[in-house]
Amino acid sequence: MSYRESVIYQIYPRSFADSDGDGIGDLQGIIGKLDYLAELGVDILWLSPIFQSPNADNGYDIADYEAIMPEFGTMADFDALLAGAHQRGLKLILDLVVNHSSDEHRWFQESRRSKTNPYRNYYIWQSPRPDGSPPNNWQSFFSGPAWKLDEQTGEYYLHLFADKQPDLNWEHELLRQEIYQMMRFWLDKGVDGFRMDVIPFLSKEPGFPDYPEGRFGDLTIHANGPRIHEFLQEMHREVLARYTAYDGTPLITIGEGFGVSAGQANLYVGENRRELGMIYHFDHAVPREEYRFLNPAPELTLPELKAIFAGWNKALDTTDNVPDPTGPGWQNVYFGNHDNPRVLSRFGEPDGFHDESGMLLATVLLTQRGTPGIYQGDEIGMSNCPFASVSEFDDIQVKNAYRELVEKGGGSASKFLTVANRIARDHARTPMQWANVPGAGFTTGTSWLKVNPAVAQVNVVAQQQSATSVLSYYQKLLRWRKQTPAMHYGTYRDLLPDHPTLWAFERNLNGVRYVTVANFSGQASVLPPGLAGTAVLGNYNSMTSELQPWEARIMTPN
């Protein structure tokens, strides 16, 4: 089954299932849940990084690309996980983090030794300006300048993320060959593809100019550098084109499209480009630059959210466009991942209509065009976790922003806490809620990040016992989607783009039509004329001419 007909499930291994009681999720823990995932009905598992790492950014700082993080297990555990997934018809993709490594990677250890070290050019080194300051005014995603002075050689190295995440130098041919070799190592083992971390960042602006006037700190500047497509086409030629998924279908490749606009997307994923299979965008992600922790962006309105989805469908799909030499492209659609707060807390109503709004979000996501990605826990309706103090957060982004904005900048600590409780990435990273027992069924020890107290009401065991739970609804929807080709290949048309609380869209595959209608509100709403039809699936039993609070239904139109 092609990835275009599949659904992805993202696992954040640190928080999924802990088999040995150390409070940290691990590979044996995931193995123990493979039956759960197969029963859920997803097709592709994406594992956030599982490699050796000092965990400055929870595994997104890799010290050895070919070794498993000891806290997660061994290579034998990995082999067993991969085999176990394939036995159940599940594909497995890894996180490819090659914009940067850890500063504890042996390449960087060598690189920083001297200006003539053979590994020097694996990273990006620049001399200070005459006054000793950094080579330019670029900012790091995790606060402060993107350059750090290394005393040993008196030069600065670039780190667009934490200073423990030095950027790799893709201009250097030998580095690129090392990366390709490492990718072959995992593909030869049989993994089915990669999710590619901040892949649009690989090619840097030559000459390292300051931010253009008026765009200081605009981190999207670092995306889409001049050689990015050359690098990805080379990667495709040298690696990706030579492999398939284990069942012979195309390899799965997903670019994390930070800084890529809808109009640029097909340059990465257009069928004729020979680069990537899918991309996922940030247009509906929660903006989280440092200053946002005191000045958060207002949440998107429903018309804004719908416009983003419609715009991306239009941009990727050339069928109703002038013929496009890139060919049509494909996207990975999602509502949540490990970099965003919980979708239920953003667009649903976990307190009043937990189950209804959880199912509504499932309905909208799983009837989209594109390959949907479910983030772990969304299938039971996990919501944001109430953090009582800044010390309860783990994420380096929160800690660094707090240091800069509050400790150094004198900003309001209570405002910061309120905002972090809305936008922080930690909300997605609290332990998976398996059962209402101490440790949430995630661990028998003390979990590395606090358990969301909502576990008392929201957990897998309780939902497995109920045919009307959010989890059961996901299972039903996933089974239905799998056997409904219009959900995979049908066109997408927004039927009510301006409606403030209804999201209604049609999928149409050669005249086979389905309409999804979803009421994003706690008030009942009249079903607009023209939207009547025969219900196929929905989150309420009796589907009347009125939409109930948070009701969602899929219909075949009359």
Q: Which is nearer to ligand GLC, 162 or 315 (CB)?
A: 162
Q: Which is nearer to ligand GLC, 10 or 443 (CB)?
A: 10
Please state the closest distance from residue 182 (CB atom) to ligand GLC, in A: 16
Residue 441 contacts residue 433 (beta carbons within 8 Å): yes
Which residues make up the interface to ligand GLC (CB under 6 A)?
57, 60, 97, 161, 197-198, 256, 338-339
Residue 163 contacts residue 103 (beta carbons within 8 Å): yes
Catalytic position from the list 197, 339, 379, 395: 197
Give every CB contact of residue 297 below 8 A, 6+ residues apart in sequence.
286, 287
**What are the CA-CA distances from residue 317 to residues 260, 271, 302, 365 (Å)?**
16, 11, 23, 18
Residue 485 contacts residue 291 (beta carbons within 8 Å): no
Q: Which is nearer to ligand GLC, 18 or 197 (CB)?
A: 197
Bridge partners (DSSP) listed for residue 512: 509
Q: Which is nearer to ligand GLC, 43 or 197 (CB)?
A: 197
Q: What angle do CA 265, 95, 25 make, to 5 degrees?
A: 140
* Distance between CA atoms of residues 145 and 148, nearest Å: 7
79 in catalytic set = no
Please state the closest distance from residue 373 (CB atom) to ligand GLC, in A: 12
Instruction: Give the three-class secondary structure for 555.
Output: strand
Instruction: Give the three-class secondary structure for 411.
Output: coil
**Tokens 């997605």 identify what position?**
428
**What are the CA-CA distances from residue 7 to residues 68, 90, 202, 252 (Å)?**
26, 10, 28, 12
* Distance between CA atoms of residues 464 and 540, nearest Å: 19
* Distance between CA atoms of residues 508 and 280, nearest Å: 23
Residue 13: enclosing H or E segment and its boundaries?
none
Q: Which is nearer to ligand GLC, 12 or 347 (CB)?
A: 12
Give every CB contact of residue 494 below 8 A, 6+ residues apart in sequence.
306, 309, 310, 504, 505
Please state the closest distance from residue 78 (CB atom) to ligand GLC, in A: 21
Please state the closest distance from residue 58 (CB atom) to ligand GLC, in A: 7
Query: What residue is closest to ligand GLC based on CB?
Result: 60
Q: Which is nearer to ligand GLC, 54 or 445 (CB)?
A: 54
Q: Which is nearer to ligand GLC, 217 or 453 (CB)?
A: 217
Please state the closest distance from residue 393 (CB atom) to ligand GLC, in A: 14
For helices 228-238 and 173-189, give the axis angle rounded to 10 degrees: 40
* Distance between CA atoms of residues 193 and 196, nearest Å: 10
Please state the closest distance from residue 384 (CB atom) to ligand GLC, in A: 17
Catalytic position from the list 77, 95, 256, 379: 256
Give every CB contact of residue 244 below 8 A, 6+ residues apart in sequence.
250, 251
131 in catalytic set = no
Please state the closest distance from residue 457 (CB atom) to ligand GLC, in A: 28
Q: Which residues of 303-333 are buried (b: 16+ CB within 10 A; e: fewer)?
A: bebbbbbbbbbbbbbbeeeeebebebbbbbb
Instruction: Give the three-class secondary structure for 455.
Output: helix
Please state the closest distance from residue 141 (CB atom) to ligand GLC, in A: 7
In this structure, what DSSP letter does residue 359 have?
H
Residue 235: enclosing H or E segment and its boundaries?
helix 228-238
Q: Catalytic site residues?
A: 197, 256
